[in-house]
Amino acid sequence: MPESFDNEKSQEKTISIASKRKISLDYEIGCESDGSKPGPANAYSITLASEDGSYGLKSVNPSEIIYASGTAVDNPSTGLYEKTFNITPGAVYTASWKIMRTASTAPLYEVEQLGPYSQIEDKSIRAVATTKGTYKTGTTAYLFLKVTKIGGDAIDPTSTNITIRDPSNIEEVLDIPEKLALGYYLYEWEIDKGADLGQYSIIWSYTVDDVEEFEYYKVVVTEDVETVNSIYNKRATVLRTALERRLECAQCIPIYGEQAKPTIDYKRYDLTFPNWNQTAGIRVFRNDRNNIIQDSLDVNFFNGYITFDNKMTVYDRIYVDYNFRWFDDEELHGYLVDAVNSINMAPPSSTYTINTLPDSMTTAVILHAAAEALRKLLLCLNFQQPRQIFGGDDKLSDAFSNIDTIKKNYEEEWKYWFDLKKFGPYPRIAVVSTPEYTLPGGRSRWFRYLFSN
């Protein structure tokens, strides 16, 4: 890692905001076998066209032909072919390039998939959207936002708003969420019984240091109760948020100046860790920290990679600052379920679920889940890449010991709450015996039973 990549926390905005998407193709000729090196060149003909002649560029959902087969493309420089199109929110696109090397050779076809992209107002935030939950019509969706700086510190924005758009991209809600704690916000969305079914866009906008930032994802509204995702219901969301507070540092880990790994096309670059925190933002640099890239790239926050519009050279080095979560929602939910099951095994036997768990037992469940999450983190520290987060091999022993101490503290506290379950509530029977003397030598007793729940 270059020395210039220190832990500075500048506020440059790195994600391009533009209303169009440019697709491009780099054409090269030459090979090592005949002594020549590959280099850019113009082909006899390159167009947007599919092998079956049905499309050049199409969207998959909704199904629509954007450019017909045989559409001409721009050729702004030697070997570079490109075409611009308008983005439809949430749509996935397929582009097919027809390459004619010479007038007499058979055409080659190169097919690529693009999107989906999210759109805010008349601007397009170029990042792949994910789906976070399925909700039934006529119920309430509980939507959370956690705002942090790239260094991982929670922060309150100067303004915070939420916008919800229906499957037709029509604005349904524009409101101000409720603040729960520093950097934590909640919005309770009452879904109408007659709401349109399909994917809704959830768009959080907030201002930090006079810069407007966004976080966005999709949710699904359905009438089929069997498809509702219990991970994102009210009780599960509240417990998961409480668990994240116990693991807060592990859920906001900053990475500075990681060198991205290029794929074979030198357009997509992969980073080590997935589950990037959108609110923390990212910064992308080309070759040195003075050359920040602010546009012409797509960001996949959930899988941890970036994709450039134009091909980088083999000599370019791409560095990225980002902030990620060690545990995703599914993992945290799994730890909570396991913790509830451990409560059920303790006497008196019970059949609680996350949704029916008594409030008095939530502390024990959260502590157990936090201890199990830290157990996984300790296991991960046995491998090379996770070690680098904590300073490498030299500082691994201290990091391991500190995390293990926190885990043991959680386990001891959890055991205290766990042991309390055996004291009730049991059905209790109290027997009171009152002697009553009658005739000499005779004695009778009567019994009174007291039942309490």
Task: Return the amino acid letter for 181.
Answer: A
The predicted pLDDT at position 260 comes to: 93
The model's pLDDT over 155-178, given as tens digits with 9 standing for 90+, comes to: 888 888 888 888 877 777 888 888
The predicted pLDDT at position 17 comes to: 35
The predicted pLDDT at position 147 comes to: 86
Partners of residue 394 on adjacent β-strands: none
The predicted pLDDT at position 123 comes to: 45
The predicted pLDDT at position 416 comes to: 83
Q: How confident is the model at residue 127 (pLDDT cuts 50, 70, 90)?
A: low
User: Taking 70 as the threshold, does the pLDDT of residue 180 lie above it?
Assistant: yes
Average pLDDT for the chain: 79
Q: How confident is the model at residue 427 (pLDDT cuts 50, 70, 90)?
A: very low
The predicted pLDDT at position 10 comes to: 36
The model's pLDDT over 87-119, given as tens digits with 9 standing for 90+, comes to: 776 567 889 999 999 988 899 998 887 766 655
What integer is the mean pLDDT of 336-354?
A: 88
The predicted pLDDT at position 341 comes to: 92
Q: For residue 278, what are the CA distances in angstroms to 48, 181, 206, 295, 308?
A: 34, 19, 12, 17, 18
Lowest mean per-residue pLDDT among 55-69, 293-307, 337-351: 293-307
The predicted pLDDT at position 389 comes to: 75
Q: How confident is the model at residue 391 (pLDDT cuts 50, 70, 90)?
A: low
Q: How confident is the model at residue 9 (pLDDT cuts 50, 70, 90)?
A: very low
User: Taking 80 as the threshold, does the pLDDT of residue 406 lie above it?
Assistant: yes
What integer is the mean pLDDT of 27-46?
A: 72
CA dihedral 366, 368, 370, 376 (to 10 degrees): -150
Report the Cα–Cα distance between both ends of the chain, in Å, rounded. Answer: 65
User: Taking 60 as the threshold, does the pLDDT of residue 184 lie above it?
Assistant: yes
The residue ranking higher by pLDDT, 39 or 140, is 140
The predicted pLDDT at position 308 comes to: 84
Residues 6+ apart with CB under 8 A from 446: 434, 436
What integer is the mean pLDDT of 392-397?
A: 72
User: Taking 80 as the threshold, does the pLDDT of residue 207 lie above it?
Assistant: yes
Q: How confident is the model at residue 433 (pLDDT cuts 50, 70, 90)?
A: low
Mean pLDDT is highest, among 205-214, 237-246, 395-404, for: 237-246
Would you state the structure tokens that stand for residue 282, as one six-digit string?
A: 């990212």
User: Taking 90 as the threshold, does the pLDDT of residue 223 lie above it?
Assistant: no
Question: What is the CB neighbour count within 10 angstroms for residue 60?
Answer: 14
Share of the chain above pLDDT 70, in %: 80
Q: How confident is the model at residue 32 (pLDDT cuts 50, 70, 90)?
A: very low
The predicted pLDDT at position 155 comes to: 86
Distance of CA 368 to the CA centre of its chain: 24
Q: How confident is the model at residue 74 (pLDDT cuts 50, 70, 90)?
A: very high
The predicted pLDDT at position 7 comes to: 44
The residue ranking higher by pLDDT, 426 or 409, is 409
